[in-house]
Amino acid sequence: MTRFAFTIEFDGRPFMGWQHQDHGPSVQQAIEDALHAITGEDALVHAAGRTDAGVHALGMRAHADVEKDLSPFRLMEALNAHLRAVPVAILACEAVAGDWHARFSCLARHYVYRIVNRRAPLTFEKGLKWRIPADLDAHAMHEAAQLLVGRHDFTTFRSAHCQSASPVKTLDRLDVVRTGDEIAIHASARSFLHHQVRSMVGCLAMVGRGQWQADDLRAARDAADRSRLGLNAPPDGLYFVRADYP
């Protein structure tokens, strides 16, 4: 039995999310089906994070245990061959220790949310970024974002369906960077609540539009009340960038 670790890129638009779903396709199921076709085994694929429907990944980490004798390169090539009908690619594959776990060994997770701040509609990147036509003040967004960095009760920014045992998380980074008409919001933490990044981005967009001030964001944070959320951003612009391990 060999434990293989994968680095995975995917376009989330055709999927109901990473995890198995009864009502539609998932990234997890696509990879497990490919593994079964290659090995004849029912291997379970564990990921560093569970992305929602429409959320993308540049470097998701995952692992699976395989009994068949395969080299990492051969397995990667075979998986990509079987996945060519869907927008999922295995960027890297390696054999790892049996106690290495894509989720539980992870020390940090990094996301980026991509906004296009222009009046013209999106063409090539529709579904891959969030277009906001109103002018955004990225500097005000970045300054307000620092109110969320650190250890807080993030109940306001947590989905009602979140299964995390505690709403208290430590956010290590939340930076807002503008390059031309594109705004990237970088978020890093050991772990995130369900919808946390999208909810934070939605509220920062309200700050950028002048609908909220930094004090409004602080009040929403301190209220620890989901009903105080200003806006939950769409999944389109959210990307799982990478996961860090020892």
User: What tokens does 38 get?
Assistant: 């290659």
The answer to whether residues 129 and 150 touch, using CB atoms and an 8 Å cutoff, is: no
Identify whether 52 is a catalytic site residue: yes
Which secondary structure element, helix H or strand E, spans residue 108, and what is its range? Answer: strand 108-116
Could you identify the residue written with the tokens 């933490």? Answer: 189
Q: What is the DSSP letter of 44?
A: P
Strand partners, 171: 150, 189
User: What tokens does 171 get?
Assistant: 């956010």
Could you identify the residue written with the tokens 């389109």? Answer: 236
Instruction: Name, in order, each residue with C-beta under 8 angstroms of 71's C-beta and a sequence gap of 6 or more.
Output: none
Question: Three-class SS of residue 176?
Answer: strand
Catalytic residue among 11, 22, 42, 52: 52
Catalytic residues: 52
